[in-house]
Structure 1
């Protein structure tokens, strides 16, 4: 009996370790930054064909890395990478702000992501309006020109005044328009709320404080600023949920909420600036109030860094997520054989960080900055991820703050073979966003919880492959599931052959 119990314990431990190393569901996202042509398009003078080719190559790269989500920046500076009635086309798309392309990049991205079974999070910057007032030429219909009274300049950048009701309403209208018209999975904002402080320069909001104090005293200016940001975060949440309740609202803040020297509940760090004290982003409140569905702190430091240790910060966030889905922002852009920080002279730093993340049940995956650096494959990051933790695909996780939408099973799933090709086809049921096809050896037990059996994810209703020893239905059997817009998966349906 003792031997039997011991064997059972070993089996359970083995299964748990396998699930930890190769999870079926895990966020694996890549940021695609468009501001200043960081990731896409590589230049602002490309043809439509060149832009589309570059974009689909980035999506294919995501699939090669076994990623499942892209975070596409569509509103870098009160401009648009989509057809907007509120804001002009981006200068980083066509070379001139307001110049219209002959296609809609967001609509194109949505279709291409769905084909590949990739989730699409659209990334907006709420307050930044003109990145560089000295060098960026704005279109006549840019909001900073039609309503100059809504803006403040700090350093070289022009920002919406966070205190104004007009700011909140305008940004909420922009976001509502996106959510209403496009097939997306989430609205995403990064760490840019109030700008990072410029030494010796105060943010110029004295007049706004006089006009809109909302009961705050002169000694409570910082609290007032945090409340300004609270108001827009809540309004954006409410706007999104009123239109499509399943669309998630996520934020990727700076890695440190507060240093423990300022607040005993903060992390044991010595960050030069923090969310709460400098960017006036009370992230913990947003989580507690359930105004956001996921959070992705940008922990862009190495394990063991004296002033901001990745391990300490990841542990802190795992204990302070308040039920909000937690992902970690990773920094492959820092991998460099000539880095001054020895840890970043190898891609192993990212591998160590992912290994650490997996130890926390609260951490549900990673987002990587950014696509350009993933394409460069710094110091064989791709090979190391494939060998260790991203060997198999994973589905994007469902979110506990989103009411589950249950998909119908696919129907009429069948396989036909002709002309040395194998053709899969099926019919779509209700509440379906995409499909997952699983492949098993003929005598193998079917188990859709093991990710090594994932053969394909797509939104298409049919696919065709070459008939060979890797696909032959005499050697393999196949099943298909449906995935809903809330990432709930149906039970499997066998393909007939």
Structure 2
């Protein structure tokens, strides 16, 4: 074939190649992708109260397997729904959502948190322990254990809307909640601490918060009760942040507040929204400030509104937060529970609503990922949401975004990579001399250059293989850092494949790759 003909074919190919569609564009190498797994009222897990430990474990492993297929790289699991514990604790009783009765231990004994943590890490996922900081009872009918904190310290609590909540204005309360969080941080190898949106209670019409006596006792120099309430919540967030950073500075601290901080009517720095219970004015949570002063590492505003919502438009809210992220990570909380179920707005029955939200978030600078509420809602596949994650938006795995302000490790690449074909698949073994959080296994199909690469075919210059780690399409797996072996069970065509392995620290900074190893795969 003449050089002129080769050049003509190359030009023709390039001219007729279509521009990439949204789904065909370069997939993201880094993005936070998570689901909330709610245990309160058995929303997501366990499926019901009183299940045996074996069934609980089976259920949770199934949940993780499904979300691994969905492309999730983190789970946010509720471990303290109402001053109780889904883990072994000397401070608070076992949760009723596990055994059916608060304080009743597992039989046979096991530690759900340790189990969930281990299973998440096996699948290459971060585990963020979700605490509800102030809720003490879930409903007015709650039966608490004799050693529940509401029995031991009744003076610490407010009764509002039939429920008990910790009184944020009492300094001892703040210290107690911090102690509960730090008990988990110190004893478990979690990746993050997570608070939800319940600070001061969501307001009930004509029902003031009964904290007059607390204000009189602890107001200090404050003359405005609302400012004092915000100070109380600030002190808790700062105290937890400082405590985590003093012990395990690599553990992330994130909060998921109500989606709107302030409406524009509340001040010129608010968003162009008319939401009913903004964090700043209704819940006394200055969530924007916590990002600004660096007390938290990430924020997940619950943007549970559709695109075009008249009171709080999705695009308006996300863009406002992106402009107020202050170099911290911003992940968008998505209302998967509304898809195909919200009777108020037909927009939630539009199968393109959630995909358009995902697409829109990816076009807005400073948005680093998404979190779905909740696990069960995604797994039920409303309007084919789960299918679209698997086939398009989360088709390829992603590493988590790096938090530059956190301590980073200087990682050497793994070495002595060995690859061989076995009956089970391709077996990989490597070595490494450092403690790492995960290893990443990449696989490349080794092919000859295209026919129009005239210089190559003329001179036959075989350059050493240079792995391109920018595309997540080549990622085979994330392996927890205690393992230095993996079996790639992917069905492969006959041919040559190249493997490399990299190391990740706790912030998922990535090392250089190991030396590449080529395998000639045969049937």
Q: 225, 233, 240: which one pairs with 1:236? A: 240
Residue 219 of structure 2 is matched in structure 1 by 213
Q: 1:338 to 1:243 in 2, by over 3 A?
A: closer
1:19 offset after TM fit, Å? Answer: 10
Q: Quick check: 1:163 aligned with 2:186?
A: no
Cα distance in structure 1, aligned partners of 2:51 and 2:155: 35
Normalising to structure 2: TM-score of the pair? 0.88
Q: Quick check: 1:135 aligned with 2:145?
A: no
Residue 4 of structure 1 is matched in structure 2 by none
Larger-Rg structure: 2
1:403 offset after TM fit, Å? Answer: 2.2
Q: 1:16 to 1:225 in 2, by over 3 A?
A: farther
Cα distance in structure 1, aligned partners of 2:487 and 2:336: 35
SS at the partner of 1:129? coil
Q: 1:84 to 1:416 in 2, by over 3 A?
A: same
Q: Deviations 1:441-489 (Å, cap 9, x if unpaired)?
A: 023852111010011112132223448425x6x5311111111112111
Cα distance in structure 2, aligned partners of 1:421 and 1:300: 43
SS at the partner of 1:264? coil
Q: 413, 416, 421: which one pairs with 1:417? A: 421
1:21 offset after TM fit, Å? Answer: 5.1
Q: 1:467 to 1:137 in 2, by over 3 A?
A: closer
Q: 487, 502, 505: which one pairs with 1:464? A: 487
Q: 67, 75, 98: which one pairs with 1:93? A: 98
Residue 179 of structure 1 is matched in structure 2 by 185
Matches within 5 A, 1:71-82: 71-82=76-87
**Runs of at least 5 residues in structure 1 that lack an aligned partner in the other structure:** 1-9
Cα distance in structure 2, aligned partners of 1:420 and 1:167: 55
Cα distance in structure 1, aligned partners of 2:129 and 2:356: 29
Number of paired residues? 480
Residue 6 of structure 1 is matched in structure 2 by none
Matches within 5 A, 1:146-161: 146-161=152-167
RMSD: 2.0
CA contact (8 A) 1:408 1:431 kept: no
Q: Deviations 1:349-381 (Å, cap 9, x if unpaired)?
A: 111011111111200010000001111011111
Q: 1:366 to 1:419 in 2, by over 3 A?
A: closer
Q: 483, 492, 496: which one pairs with 2:513? A: 492
1:221 offset after TM fit, Å? Answer: 0.5
Q: Quick check: 1:83 aligned with 2:83?
A: no
Residue 429 of structure 1 is matched in structure 2 by 433
**Runs of at least 5 residues in structure 2 that lack an aligned partner in the other structure:** 1-14, 449-465
Residue 106 of structure 1 is matched in structure 2 by 113
Residue 359 of structure 2 is matched in structure 1 by 355
Q: 349, 372, 375: which one pairs with 1:371? A: 375
Residue 343 of structure 1 is matched in structure 2 by 347
CA contact (8 A) 1:45 1:94 kept: yes
Residue 447 of structure 1 is matched in structure 2 by 468
1:53 offset after TM fit, Å? Answer: 0.7
1:264 offset after TM fit, Å? Answer: 1.2
1:266 offset after TM fit, Å? Answer: 0.4
Residue 480 of structure 1 is matched in structure 2 by 501
Name segments (4+ residues, structure 1) moved above 6 Å: 14-20
Q: 1:428 to 1:140 in 2, by over 3 A?
A: farther
Q: 1:239 to 1:19 in 2, by over 3 A?
A: farther
